[in-house]
A and B are shown apart, each in its own frame.
Chain A
Amino acid sequence: MAVKKFVVGSFDDEAVLFPAVKKVRAAGYRIHDVYTPFPVHGLDHALGLRETSLHTAGFIYGITGTTTALSFMSWIFTTDWPLNIGGKPHFPLPAFIPITFELTVLFSAVGMVMTFMYLCQMAPFVKKHIFHPRQTDDLFVMAIELTEKTRAEEVKAFLDSVGAKEINEQTAETGWWLGRWDREDKLFSKPAEPVNA
């Protein structure tokens, strides 16, 4: 994807993080992302992210399952091989309900999980840059992207003023790559040119 420069601030309390996010955004800095060890409610709104449409996708997968099951069973029993089972009707709708329901759930669940994996770009052997090893433990890690308008020192001072505990500068690949987590991968030869030089 792209190699970019970041100033990274780590917070140890979500009660400090929220006002910090507000102030950083108000100051006009570009927050690349905030990494948290657990879902912090309201943080997505604080960052100005839109609602996810994943559930809509789930609904569409669900009705696909419904129609697949119903049309497949009806076609088999009425057209492809109308079998006389104890003189019962060829189109026994009530008897189709259980399988129709199961396939609705199956399609919806499998489809949603696949979509989730695709949107979040997750799979075995996928590697991504981890800004702080404790972002999955107890730290709330905010990565601010450096642009031509921002100076690293200034951002660091600002993060310090809003309560970040640990502040540093990092050059990182923003996308994913394939690799093993027990090995350090060298993705770029030298740190990207500081854009604000």
Chain B
Amino acid sequence: MQQQAKRLLKLALNPVLVLLSLMSSGVWAATAEKAEHWRGNMTPGVTEVGHKIYDLHMLVFWICVVVGIIVFGLMFYSVFAYRKERHSEPATFHENTKLEIAWTVVPFLLLIIMAVPATKVLIEVYDTDDAAQDILITGYQWKWKYEYINPNGDNVTFFSNLRTPESEIGNEEEKGSNYLLEVDEPVVLPVNSKTRFLVTANDVLHAWWVPELAVKRDAIPGFVNEAWTKPTETGVYRGQCAELCGRNHGFMPIVVNVVEQEEYDQWLAGKLAEAAELKELMAKEFTMDELVARGKKVYERNCLACHGANGEGGVGKAIAGSPLATGSTKGHLDVIVNGVPGTAMQAFGGQLNEVDLAAVTTYQRNAFGNNMGDMLQPVDVYKFKKGQ
């Protein structure tokens, strides 16, 4: 009796496991939509194409589940029913042409059922024409640059860096809910408007991926790739780099802020004004306090990750008391503008504007106990860059 029960249990175990895993996937898929904070399935996102991709994904998924139940059902039935104990005389058949033809033709038909909608969606994804705005996205090790292309040539350009502090990554502080998915300056898009992305890279390959926008495109140095989106809901959507790009591949998120058209126009106008203001700032004479205050912010965004909050160093060299930061202003600026080839020290000359370069250099020379007392004006940086 006991033996039989044991055997039954053993026999029951196999199909149970299969069903469990199959069902769990189905249940997870179904509940995922309800539980907002907890996702376990592909997001349909906030675009029409995204919904179509999601439907396609679920269509193929359910076809697989049904085929799986039939195939695995048959398999575990065979294992269960034709055990040697109860079926000691095996059959001897080993061929059946009709059967073979049937299970070649049936999967083929199923494939056609999947291929037709897939083709339609793909053609739609490739239709990048007639966009209301074009954004050039450039992948850098390890940040994104966005350039809003303006027909009159006044492009709005900015970098988007990871904002999560080192202390959260190093587990010294509690992690915020957008841990590793937050940036200092998000991309802003208008809702219900077609935006075209031109994706490229500055150094190695990257890939720009925002699940809710159903966009993933490889960024390839030297070449431009296209993608487009038309979000139908406002909101903040987060994504990450999807192509291995070196050490900080996991630390270059994407944040897209989809807003009403009006708000977008305001934002864009603001950015343009900011650029104009920058031109003015170039001409302005800064005080030491202004430079240090501005420089501190620039430092925290661009330098802190490698050089530490107190200039103590880390991946990068220490700044506190370093011969460079306490040497000539020109030498110091040179390293910040041009980087140190072959090391992690990048050239910031193309990434920061003259005001920020002047500010951060001045800050480094007057913080962390480097009380040099000297300062750089934006126009000095401008001259340095021109005169190089």
B and A form one assembly: no
Please list the residues of chain B having a beta carbon within 8 angstroms of any beta carbon in chain A. Answer: none
